[in-house]
Structure 1
Amino acid sequence: MTLNTAIRHLEKGNWRKAHDVVQNDATEFGCWAHGIVHLLEGDLPNARYWYRRAHRAFPRAHDPSAEIDALVAAWKEDLRDARMAR
């Protein structure tokens, strides 16, 4: 999955590789990951744009690590819910 690849790059702090992965992912999770990319990069206006696209509140602390953890937790919950709905 592309999101999984992006998350691995984000966890390593490699925002450029993560950006290559998420730049064409228009899902809410992809947009959230894209926002985190720009947090890591330090481009806060662009990060805010992607958080809006993801329907997420922009984090006050600007802590990419906490955001990555939250993204992973939400994504896992979404996958679990999808499996249970089958």
Structure 2
Amino acid sequence: MQQSLQQAVELALHDDWDGAHEIAQASNEVTAHWIHAVLHKIEGDEWNSRYWYRRTPHEYEEYADPKAELRAIAATLQGGE
């Protein structure tokens, strides 16, 4: 599962919202919910984004830049955080 979540982050970083969303939506892991939250933040769907953040230990306001947040998720997935 970690590998597919890393792929979702890479897709999102390369602006493939749909591909990343499909992977994140298929998982019930907390990190997938975090990715899902960021994707909806990027999309501008704040209500839905906040819904997914509530399923994680993270906050909507924690990162101003979604790309920086995606890089933080990637580091977490790689054991760097």
- Point out 4+ residue stretches in structure 1 off by more than 4 angstroms: none
Cα displacement (A) at 1:37: 0.9
Aligned to 1:59: 61
CA offsets per residue over residues 23-54 of structure 1, 9 Å max, x none? 02111110001011101111111111111112
The answer for the alignment partner of 1:29 in structure 2 is 31
The secondary structure found in structure 2 opposite 1:77 is: coil
Pick 1 or 2: higher relative contact order, CA cutoff 8 A, min separation 6. 2
One-letter code of the match for 2:61? P
Distance 1:34 1:63 in 2: 15
Q: TM-score, normalised by structure 2?
A: 0.84
Counterpart in the other structure of 2:15: 13
In angstroms, what is the RMSD of aligned CA positions? Answer: 1.9
TM-score (norm 1): 0.79
- 8 Å contact from structure 1 (residues 39, 62) kept in 2: no
1:62 to partner: Cα distance: 3.9
Deviation of residue 71 (structure 1)?
Answer: 0.7
Equivalent residue runs for 1:28-47 within 5 Å: 28-47=30-49
Unaligned runs of 5+ in 2: none
